[in-house]
Chains A and B, each alone.
Chain A
Amino acid sequence: MLFKQWNEVDEPRHHLDSPTAFGNEDSLQEASLPGLEFPQIDWSHYTKVFFTTAIMEPLFPKTLLNTKKLGDIKAVLTLNGNPPKADSHSWNFEENFPNELNPEERISSTSFTFLTPVVAFGDTLLIMVKENFLKVSPIIYNQLANELVSGIICGAQAQEQELRVLGTSDRITELKSISDKRSDLRPPEFVTGFVGSILTQLIVNRLPFQGLIAPSEGATGFEKMSMETVPELIDICNEWIALDLENYKSECYRQCRRDGAATGSLSGLYI
């Protein structure tokens, strides 16, 4: 979780960055929750479901696994509050670092759409969320996880499905294995982001699951994993995903190098 340690700001650190600066801080009215639309998929047809974030993309090489896209989960968040005042101080990244982003891309609309593709290979479903703490409010991850788990997975004979969660945390120093029955996490370690939302729902709904939490560094959506972590992840995922694919590992390494996901400081310290 990002607690502004890199910003030279005189703001208390429990005030987190928010992507879509709501204008309703003074309001006493409830804000609208994101609306979700799911594609027509026979969820019970698949025996394995992976929940993860985009940093794990190299573990699912498209051509080798022969993945096919089944559709998009569409989340639409409509804000009815007033935009923030021009003279007030803002923690908007785009204002603090105006050179980093194209000013043409400034968000002017009050409606935000967030798409998450649902991908399948063999008997496995893959739901991989592209997080971005600058642009996507965590309410979208929460709502997505709520409806995915309590609405869809629970209704699709979840007890017979193998649910797998792959996530990262900047609060741990080594790869941790987790499941519904036991956890390698020790206080004060924790998981946040979309994977945190999914785990919350799996725990609250008492669904069996297995998973891995890998150490990472960086803000939500821009994490980096170290060169030590990636081989461990690939080894375990090789057992989970592709028992009979000989070149799975080499293809994963190739994807990692291509994405710069595993190269750590070699690819630059800054995002």
Chain B
Amino acid sequence: MSRTLLIPLVSTGNVPQLTADLVLHSLSSEFHFIESLDSTHLHPFVGPLDYVFEQQEPVLFSKFAPEKTYSTALELFYNDSRSLYVIQQRTPVIQGYLNNFVRDVICPLVGKLRITDVVILDSFGALDEDIVANTSRTSKTNNFYSDALCQVRSVGDVVREMEAGLHLNSPSLSSNIANTLFQFTTDSVQQELSTRQQAFKFAYHLLNSPFPQFQRIKYCSAFVHEGDNSYDAHLLCDHLTNVIDGFKKITKHTPPVSWKGVYGSRPVPTSFDEGIYI
């Protein structure tokens, strides 16, 4: 049976974080808090426990950690019925420490939890030059998502090739390697993973860690306009059924109270009588 770990990267519009919020709080009766992970490599963060407006207490935490009063920058949650672990990362990685973060925090966690599938959620906008450069091939698609799969056992040769001589500054070589690592679906916006993307470093270090049970890395990226964050998160949450095996669509989305006042919390108005501001 597969055991999945969902990792939301801090990226454009914070859409992956908001999506993780939606998954956790919409299914708060199924998920529970496990532990605060080491956040040495992240910008510091301490905040109160988040909860859904109708709830009397933060049920995500109260089941197994009733004494818990604060959330930290990196927390792990688990849903037993779906064998799904979800990380909530609330602040960006400190510049220069992404490799440390993946190798020292994420890789040991994948080994410890005996994860088979790692799902990386990402988002990008028109200003992310490194990614936009790799989307030209399918610029005509109407899809907002990019889905890709990396079968761990089939990439042994690629990893050896990377180890033999990785010239990251050479665009042709690096994009070739990244392209062979992940197989994107034909209707994806993105068709290649840039070596400058965070997800590439996650993939590189995970593939270089010897976990016998580890099978797949799935990458899902949403094209967003920075600003209408939360509506994009609702859409990405619905899209998760295509990314996580056996993940049933969440019928009722319940965002946590921390979303109150988030810019773009309403759908984009389609006519003037709905107002011009989001």
Which residues of A are in contact with B by a Cβ distance under 8 Å? Answer: 1, 10-16, 18, 20-22, 24-31, 33, 79, 81, 137-139, 141-143, 145-146, 180-183, 185-197, 199-200, 203-204
Contacts and interface: CB of A to CB of B under 8 A. Distances in A.
B46 A200 contact: yes
Contacts of A142: 39-42, 44, 94
Nearest to A193: B44
Q: Is the interface of B mostly helix, strand, loop or mixed?
A: loop
A22 B70 contact: no
B95 A21 contact: yes
B10 interface: yes
Contact of B195 (A26, A141, A204): A26
A187 B92 contact: no
A196 B10 contact: no
Q: Closest 5 CB pairs between A and B? A: A22-B96, A196-B44, A190-B47, A187-B258, A188-B258
Contacts of B14: 14
Contacts of A139: 40-41, 94, 96-97
Given A192-B46, A192-B91, A203-B46, 10 more contacts: A16-B43, A24-B99, A31-B97, A138-B44, A139-B41, A142-B94, A187-B256, A187-B257, A196-B44, A199-B46
Interface string B66-88: 00011011000000000000000
Contacts of B205: 28
30 contacts: A1-B43, A14-B12, A14-B13, A16-B43, A18-B95, A26-B168, A26-B196, A28-B99, A31-B100, A138-B43, A139-B40, A139-B97, A142-B39, A143-B40, A185-B47, A187-B47, A187-B50, A187-B256, A188-B260, A188-B261, A191-B44, A193-B44, A194-B44, A196-B46, A197-B44, A200-B36, A200-B46, A200-B72, A203-B72, A204-B36
Interface string B38-57: 01111111111111000000
B12 A196 contact: no
Contacts of A203: 36, 46, 69-70, 72
Contacts of A28: 99, 166, 168, 201, 204-205
Nearest to A191: B46
Interface string B235-278: 00000000000000000000011111100000000000000000
A189 B103 contact: no
Nearest to A139: B94
Contacts of A21: 95
Nearest to B124: A12
B226 interface: yes
A7 to B, nearest CB: 13
